[in-house]
Chains A and B, each alone.
Chain A
Amino acid sequence: MKGFDGAVREPYHSVHEWLSTQKIDDLRRKRSEAEALFRRTGITFAVYGDDAATERLIPFDIVPRILSGAEWRRLSAGIEQRVRALNAFMYDIYHRQEIIKAGRIPADLVIQNAAFVPEMMCVEPARGIYSHIIGIDLVRTSENEFFVLEDNTRTPSGVSYMLENRETMMHMFPELFSRNRVQAVEDYPESLRLTLESVAPDNLDRAPTCVVLTPGIHNSAYFEHSFLADQMGVELVEGQDLVVVDGALHMKTTRGLRQVDVVYRRIDDPFLDPLVFRRDSVLGVPGIFDVYRAGRLTIVNAPGAGIADDKSIYTYVPDIVEFYTGRPPILKNVPTYQCRKPDDLTYVLENLEKLVVKEVHGSGGYGMLVGPAASRDEVDMFRMKVKARPERYIAQPTLALSTCPTLVEAGIAERHIDLRPFVLVGDRVRLTPGGLTRVALREGSLVVNSSQGGGTKDTWVLQE
């Protein structure tokens, strides 16, 4: 909230004033009300099993995170540039591989990559788009500096929290919304539906039928799957509800089979089709990949889209942006050391205490070292891990992440935050103002992942 000079920044003035008039006990009460609301609505993520006990809430913080309209405009331009370039990159990788031929990215980094799906070579996805739904994780380090921490081009989650956080805030603090002109986020489901319809296979003689494919109620993001299907007014299906007949995908309805044109899948590549990928998958649909390859179905996001968000590819994204758009990237990457490079490795091993070390294929904040917060033993253990398999690790400097006032045990205190805007790519790029702000609830912590005790906040973009 405060600028790096310590003064309250302009977009926060009104909320700062409001916050200073609130009693902590009232705020606490409001927060428990909000949590009761979340639980009643079923906005939970399942840890495992289906008992109420294992359906956890992601902690919701009632102090909003605020961006000015001008800040958002700059960010939007950077995000749009980045998602277009990432899609162009994927099209190239799965076709002529010009970027490799041009020597801008090492071939083995792509071809040997676990996220690279060779079966996708020369497949023509509708409109040439691979990643239609992208979440870009950003952190702010100074007044005018945002860095991209990570791209999520497979199946980014969290958008339902963005929407429900806003609903909850408007329900609990209507006065805040009359005092601040906050840009609406509620159009997201409609934008998502339009995006899905815009990438339906060509030459349909009817309105496209879209579905959301979920692994089922035991999946940790099941709430989000059902929420999005419901908000868009499309069927929420499981693998068992789908079948390939006569070269087309169908769902099993009360009136028999009905053809499906667009699948927004929330299951991972390996589980999509037991005939092509993992044979033991019971979540997917046998034959679905053939239908896709024949152009009679669109899968969103495309199989193999993970190649663009792999942590080892991440380092090259600035080059990727420049290569495909011919312009310098608007959004910067966090400087990253690749432990597979000998020079970088030497630096990382000498400076472990200052760095954040991540597994290349890890996600969710598991298996990472936050040097400044780690014990000597932890640092030593990581030193051995990195030495043993350097190619598995990257390292980044710890950034002076921005903070936002947050309601904690001791009252209101500053906590570190990041931002995940959600971008849709179809007939055009659609970007919802704001996104999901995640907050590290432990003092000094930089880890915002919900699996590691992070919470979320409503994110405001003010009208200009």
Chain B
Amino acid sequence: MLGRTANDLFWMSRYIERAENMARLLEVGYRIALLPREGGGEPEWFSTLRSAGCEQGFLEKYKTYATDDVVRYMLFDPDNFSSVYSCLSTARRNARAQRTAMTREMWESLNSAWIEFAAINQKALTSDKLPPLFDWIKERSALFRGALLNTILRNDTFYFNQLGTFLERADNTARILDVKYYVLLPHAELVGGEIDNAQWSAILRSVSAHRSYHWVYRESYKPWRVADYLILNRQMPRSLRSCYDEIANALAELNTYYGATNGCETQARDTLRLLSEANMTTIFQSGLHEFLADFIGRNNGLGSAISKTYHFAD
């Protein structure tokens, strides 16, 4: 496979995953923005933008966090390279450049998503139409992922897509946690009250885990449990641990397929060991924020190592 092909596939899957995450984050932010607030005032959009990694770009364009501006910036702004518009457009451009590595089903699901999204009339998007749009974006991502899983050959094409999806997902989950880490510290429970409960619920919602939490823990939200669920729990498909199970697996398969060994797999296994041997008590002791910052750094480092090892851009 061409190095350029691997690069395009990796980023195609990353951008699809990112589009879905943007929709999810917006959905939660929007839900909170709609709730009545004590004493009026503007809804809190900063943490949503921060979790999405777009707060700097946003502040360069806008002075206040008006809901309409935030939504437009995260959905449609071509200047924001993480907006849903940019994600779908880049993913589709990569797919088009790599038609030979795409199955017909993958290409058609992505191409029609792009055609429909590009045809949306932004002016006609009243607030009642936004939640269905968020759903639509998630559905489109699911459709693409389903087409990929059901039709793609299990060779390097598949593994580079897997790596893109799960590196992006791990980064996203870690960032959501890091932005809100203070509400997850054990003492936060002492502060307690309904506001924190809403915050925990929002964190879980932003990774579609507010219902499954109860099935796994069979109790009401506890901050350290929420953290445990999203960091260490293998059952939770968006937890850091789950993502690294997939990443380490994809790299191992890739090496078997290529009949080679390299540093990427070792690097991924180190992170995986860290996640499988840790428990929340030790993580809290050494600092949740420090732990997450270290993880985000490792995850980015692995991304660079993969791009270098597999000649993404020689």
Contact = CB atoms under 8 A, between A and B. Distances in A.
Contacts of B3: 241, 252-254
Contact of A217 (B5, B93, B115, B258): B93
B222 interface: no
Contact of A40 (B112, B160, B260, B314): B112
Interface string B297-314: 000000000000011001
B74 to A, nearest CB: 21
Interface string A212-223: 000011000011
B50 interface: no
Contact of A254 (B1, B96, B97): B1
Interface in A154-192: none
B104 A251 contact: no
Given A40-B111, A41-B108, A236 B118 contact: no
A251 B4 CA distance: 10
A421 to B, nearest CB: 26
Nearest to B310: A254
Nearest to B99: A226
B4 A230 contact: no
A222 B93 CA distance: 12
Interface in A243-272: 251-256
A52 B108 contact: no
A254 B2 contact: yes
Interface string B92-118: 010011111000100110011011001
A241 B104 contact: no
A41 B97 contact: no
A256 B314 CA distance: 9
A252 B311 contact: yes
Nearest to B312: A254
A273 interface: no
A11 B156 CA distance: 49
Contacts of B100: 226, 229-230, 234-236
Interface in B111-154: 111-112, 114-115, 118
B99 A251 contact: no
A324 B199 CA distance: 84
B298 to A, nearest CB: 22
A230 B114 CA distance: 22
B2 A252 contact: yes
A14 interface: no
A73 to B, nearest CB: 35
A249 to B, nearest CB: 14
Contacts of A252: 2-4, 311, 314
A129 to B, nearest CB: 26
Contacts of B184: none
B13 to A, nearest CB: 15
A238 B98 CA distance: 11
Contact of A50 (B5, B93, B160, B314): B93
A234 B101 CA distance: 10
A42 B96 contact: yes
Interface in A195-226: 216-217, 222-223, 226
Given A40-B108, A42-B107, A255 B260 contact: yes
Nearest to B119: A52
A237 interface: yes
Given A42-B96, A230-B99, A254 B6 contact: yes
Given A241-B2, A254-B6, A52 B311 contact: no
Nearest to A251: B2
Nearest to B2: A241
A238 B100 CA distance: 13
A52 B99 contact: no
Most chain A CB neighbours (cut-off 10 Å) among B2, B104, B115, B311: B2
Interface residues of A, number: 28
B90 to A, nearest CB: 11
Most chain B CB neighbours (cut-off 10 Å) among A42, A51, A227, A229: A42
A39 interface: yes
B109 to A, nearest CB: 9
What does DSSP make chain B's interface, helix, strand, loop or mixed? helix
Nearest to B112: A40
A52 B118 contact: yes
A205 B272 CA distance: 44
A189 to B, nearest CB: 12
B226 to A, nearest CB: 39
A430 B6 CA distance: 35
Interface in B5-20: 5-6
A97 interface: no
Contacts of B115: 39-40, 52
A4 B156 CA distance: 58
A351 interface: no
A253 B1 contact: yes
Interface string A360-404: 000000000000000000000000000000000000000000000
Contacts of B314: 252
Contacts of B111: 40-42
A230 to B, nearest CB: 4
A254 B156 contact: yes
Contact of B99 (A39, A227, A256): A227
B42 to A, nearest CB: 35
Contact of A236 (B99, B104, B260): B99
B4 A240 contact: yes
A230 B103 CA distance: 9
Contacts of B93: 50, 217
Given A39-B115, A41-B104, A52-B115, A253 B96 contact: no
Contact of A42 (B5, B6, B99, B160): B99
A186 B206 CA distance: 48
B44 to A, nearest CB: 36
Contacts of B107: 41-42
Given A252-B3, A254-B311, A217 B96 contact: yes
23 contacts: A39-B115, A40-B111, A42-B99, A42-B107, A42-B111, A50-B93, A217-B97, A222-B96, A235-B100, A236-B98, A236-B100, A237-B2, A238-B4, A241-B2, A241-B3, A251-B2, A252-B311, A253-B1, A253-B3, A254-B2, A255-B310, A255-B311, A256-B311
Given A230-B100, A236-B99, A254-B258, 13 more contacts: A39-B115, A40-B115, A42-B96, A52-B115, A216-B97, A226-B96, A229-B100, A234-B100, A252-B4, A253-B311, A254-B1, A254-B5, A254-B156
Instruction: Return the 10 tightest CB-CB contacts between A and B, nearest first.
Output: A226-B99, A254-B310, A230-B100, A229-B100, A236-B100, A254-B6, A252-B3, A254-B1, A252-B314, A241-B2
